[in-house]
Amino acid sequence: MRKKDTIELVITVALGVFLLIISVALYHRTNTKRASVPASAAGTVTAVSGAGPLPGYRLRRMKVSGVGFINRFVMATSVLPLERDPFTAGQSGPQDPKAALSLDGIMWNAEKPTAIIGTAFVNEGDAVGRFKVVKIYPTKVVLREGDSEFELFLKGSS
């Protein structure tokens, strides 16, 4: 190997080792800064309340210092309008399948009446989910689930 090639190889290796040392030092420096942020250097959290982009709500900045991520998260989300805790299991809709049914209309014809239950057009003998349409009257519908029957009334009449 020539002297020139040897010098180029030594310089290349030295530069590579130097860049590796600098990279490791910078990596450790940024990670230790993230892990040990002093309480006085904490930032702000944007929370929602009041009036603004959402009807009835506005953006507000809250100063948080010396608190962990979970506490900042709780502070920021405590003003959000939630109907239930999104982190717990459970159904968000009606628990009773009968409560989910709504009689939205009846097209009365003595020979073949048709009811509108939710978005379904049904006749006597048809099924809506697990319910069977037994009888359609001008202001109500009788449904059967297994051995039990119940009435579903038009909105505004009962």
* In contact, 123 and 136? CB cutoff 8 Å: yes
Bridge partners of 117, per DSSP, are: 103, 120
**What does the alpha-carbon distance between residue 152 and residue 102 come to, in Å, rounded to a whole number?**
7
Asked which of 24-28, 51-55, 86-90 is least confident by mean pLDDT, the reply is: 51-55
**What does the alpha-carbon distance between residue 65 and residue 41 come to, in Å, rounded to a whole number?**
7
Residue 26 lies in a domain: no
Task: Indicate whether 11 pLDDT > 90.
Answer: yes
* In contact, 53 and 46? CB cutoff 8 Å: no
Total domains in the fold of the chain: 2
pLDDT tens per residue, range 23-36 = 888 877 766 544 44
Residue 49 lies in a domain: yes
Mean local confidence (pLDDT), 79-91: 65
Residue 93 lies in a domain: no
Q: Give the chain's mean pLDDT.
A: 75
**What does the alpha-carbon distance between residue 129 and residue 98 come to, in Å, rounded to a whole number?**
10
**Could you give phi then psi for residue 80, rounded to 5 degrees?**
-80, 140
Residue 21 lies in a domain: no
pLDDT tens per residue, range 35-49 = 444 444 444 444 444
Residue 46 lies in a domain: yes
Q: Which domain holds residue 119?
A: 103-153
pLDDT at 155: 77
* In contact, 118 and 104? CB cutoff 8 Å: yes
Claim: this prediction has a pTM higher than 0.75? no
Q: What is the 3-state secondary structure (H, E, C) of 98-141?
A: CCCCCEEEEECCCCCCEEEECCEEECCCCEECCEEEEEECCCEE
pLDDT tens per residue, range 97-134 = 777 788 989 998 889 999 999 888 999 999 988 899 99
Tell me what percent of the residues of the chain surpass a pLDDT of 70: 59
